[in-house]
Amino acid sequence: MTVRPPARWLGACLLAGVLLAGIALPPVVVGGLLVGRAAASVDATSGSLTGGRVREASVVTDASGTPIARLYERYRLPVGSAGIADTMKAAIVAIEDRRFFVHDGVDWRGLGRALASNALRGSPFEGQGASTITMQYVKNYRLYALADTEADRRAATADTLARKVTEVRLAHRIEARLDKDEILSRYLDLVSFGNGAYGVEAAARTYFGTTAAELSLPQAALLAGIVRSPEGYDPTAHPEAAQARRGEVLRAMADVGSITTERAAAADAAPLGVAAPLRRPAQGCASAVEGTGFFCRYVEEQLAAAGIPPSELRTGGYTVRTTLDPAAQARADAAAGRIGDTSGVANVVAVVSPGAASRPVLALAANRDYGPDADAGQSSLPLVTAALRGAGSVYKIFTAATALERGLVSPDEEIDVPERYTSSISPGYTVENLGSYADRMTLTRALATSPNTAFVELEDRIGSVRPVVEAARALGLRRTLGASAPGGGTVGETVTAQDQASFTLGPNPTSPLELANVGATLVADGRWCPPTPILAVTDREGRPVDLPTPACEQAVPTEVAADLRTALSEDHTDGTSADAAEEVGWDRPMIGKTGTTQVSASSAFLGATTAYAGAVMTFSDRGAPQPVCTDPVRVCSDGDLTGGSVPAETWYRTMLPLHRGVPEDDLLPARDD
């Protein structure tokens, strides 16, 4: 259905035709062309203007609800009419459109003056009453909410009569559907106030560290004055111009009766009071609260996998409440950071809660900040979640789990420990032990002291690497083994197809987070749950957003998990991490396993109690793997890094304070949840 323009609107178009000098067409024809052109734009836009939403920042919080990052295309926090002080509304009406509450969206007298001014002097179509607040809302909505391309943005701001006619028609549509207060608050939630602040709430926080609801008269007047020219009236760059403009606003408010002349004079004498520096939060995970950048990035990745890509996250106004535990994060940050951040060596920590129904990620820490500046010790790699380097002998856990499940051994049963051994499932693969060991020892002792030959020989007894790989996947290394391998296929498929007996020695890149989840699975009686950094997501209206989550599943039988906990229970008392445990005074039951790859290019420690499970990996992260030395920690030519050194020390320093006041629990019997 064609919408018939009101007589006054048609009159404006005819007037426009008369004023367009140099046009050969009769005025009525010009007006008619503009009517038709505007109608098409109006029909495509009016629904969005009254029912759509502007692009809004999303906030990421820790588990307590404290923000750790804001993600936005533009810093905007719409609050609606109830969230905007009446003083702010009065100020913007007085200076921008004092007839706002009496006109129908278009100030016909002002529009006529503006069109005449343009025809006579070639001035733009703004000013002289040309744009009411309703029309400015139209322009800003088209610019900030609808424009996706540079061409769209040019069209929304073009100084043309066609744009002005479209705004007139759309303004009438809006006034017919929304009341004045709704139009005014939508405008104030949308418009730019300069310095990256869009909307009055963002502006109040940026310039004054307050909210739009709590703006004082001098503050409201300053913000209202900025709108006309955010750069020209920028109070940080041009304080004198900004103060003069604020005075104009205050006098306008007094002229229309919003305030008394006495209040206007008092407010005019007040200092600008702008925060120094401005308080606009930085955008993105690289600007997250110190220490939380890697966690923030992981949240983004998980949301993208669940169907909320970064582009939507930066415009959708979501609130993402994460599982991040500030206490665990602080302890992990402090422990990881002891080795410094400019040595070319990464030291990373992942901590999860070992629940049997869910697996919250409590902390992701590193000895460097998340960011693009490598010279400043930053890293843009997902150091704590991605599979970047090997975990070494921690993988002996998976060989032991397979042997226990098949009844080939028990925790207290002795296994052979030859000095040198050649695999039968992987002919030609020969290993030797580093150090002296007894010829035979129990599985528990072997896991604590970590002789290589014993576990390669145990793989031969199993008969294939396949079930060992399957155990690793079931217990938690899902993405690690599903990663692409050189030559095609996944890492897991390649290891299995080639029956790589070296798998038990952990040379393959491993995710520290997934390694921590292995410990949590064992503590949870063999029940695997997907690690998650997200507690809840709500949309801009506060409505919950359902995210698809894989179900928990039984990775290994409960009795196998109990036997494996027994077999892993001596590393901290008489094994490879005993010195690190003694150094900090660790004295409670736990499971643990260390690992180191060839030439000490990377090492790891996995440990868990009933309260926390965590993994630490230390590795060279600049270019190809390189040996790492420990005194001080650095890249070197002949490494001495082991899982019992930096990784174990970091784990115990993270966990000891977190366990203060936590009752001890017996890890060895199977748990009844």
Mean predicted lDDT score pLDDT of the chain: 88
**Domain count within the chain:** 2
Our CA angle for 186, 183, 542, nearest 5°, is: 40
Residue 493 pLDDT > 70, yes or no?
Answer: yes
The pLDDT tens digits for 380-418 are 899 999 999 999 999 999 999 999 999 999 999 999 999
* Residue 516 CB coordination number (10 Å): 33
Residue 17 pLDDT > 50, yes or no?
Answer: no
pTM: 0.81
State the CATH number of the domain containing residue 429.
3.40.710.10
pLDDT value, residue 634: 93
pLDDT value, residue 268: 97
Closest CA to 401 of 410, 393, 392: 410
Residue 23 pLDDT > 60, yes or no?
Answer: no
Closest CA to 461 of 503, 392, 409: 409
Query: Percentage of the chain surpassing pLDDT 70?
Result: 86
The mean pLDDT of 500-524, rounded to a whole number, is 98
Asked whether residue 671 is domain-assigned, the answer is: no
The pLDDT tens digits for 416-440 are 999 999 999 998 899 999 889 999 9
Asked whether residue 87 is domain-assigned, the answer is: no
At 219, which helix (H) or strand (E)? helix 217-226
pLDDT value, residue 7: 43
Per-residue pLDDT band for 1 (boundaries 50, 70, 90) equals very low
How would you write 434-491 as a 3-class SS string? CCCCCCEEEHHHHHHHCCHHHHHHHHHHHCCCHHHHHHHHHHCCHHHHHCECCCCCEH
Asked whether residue 293 is domain-assigned, the answer is: no
E strands, 516-632, where?
527-528, 531-532, 534-538, 553-554, 591-596, 602-608, 613-620, 628-630
Residue 18 pLDDT > 60, yes or no?
Answer: no
Asked whether residue 291 is domain-assigned, the answer is: no
Per-residue pLDDT band for 115 (boundaries 50, 70, 90) equals low
Residue 540 pLDDT > 50, yes or no?
Answer: yes
Closest CA to 221 of 189, 281, 265: 265
Which residues 6+ apart lie within 8 Å of 526 measured at CB? 475, 554, 555, 556, 557, 558, 560, 561
pLDDT value, residue 165: 77
Asked whether residue 477 is domain-assigned, the answer is: yes
Asked whether residue 660 is domain-assigned, the answer is: no
| Separation of alpha carbons 441 and 447, rounded Å | 10
Residue 595 pLDDT > 90, yes or no?
Answer: yes
pLDDT value, residue 566: 97
Per-residue pLDDT band for 281 (boundaries 50, 70, 90) equals confident
pLDDT value, residue 376: 81
Per-residue pLDDT band for 110 (boundaries 50, 70, 90) equals low
More confident residue, 272 or 74: 272
pLDDT value, residue 36: 43
Asked whether residue 158 is domain-assigned, the answer is: yes
Helix, strand, coil content of the chain in percent (nearest 5)? 45, 15, 40
pLDDT value, residue 39: 42
Asked whether residue 516 is domain-assigned, the answer is: yes
Q: What is the dihedral of CA 126, 128, 134, 137, to 10 degrees?
A: 30
Residue 650 pLDDT > 50, yes or no?
Answer: yes
Distances (CA, A) of 219 to 87, 210, 214, 228, 234: 9, 10, 10, 16, 13
Burial of 375 (0-12, 13-18, 19+ CB in 10 A): exposed
Residue 81 pLDDT > 70, yes or no?
Answer: yes
Instruction: Classify the phi-psi angles of 80: left when phi > 0, otherwise alpha if psi is within -120 to 50, otherwise beta.
Output: left
pLDDT value, residue 668: 62
Please tell me the least confidently modeled range out of 209-223, 339-353, 636-650. 339-353
Residue 622 pLDDT > 80, yes or no?
Answer: yes
The pLDDT tens digits for 431-486 are 999 889 999 999 999 999 999 999 999 999 999 999 999 999 999 999 999 999 99
Place of tokens 């070319």: 344
pLDDT value, residue 96: 95
Distances (CA, A) of 612 to 96, 401, 590, 606: 59, 21, 10, 11
Domain that holds residue 453: 382-531+551-644
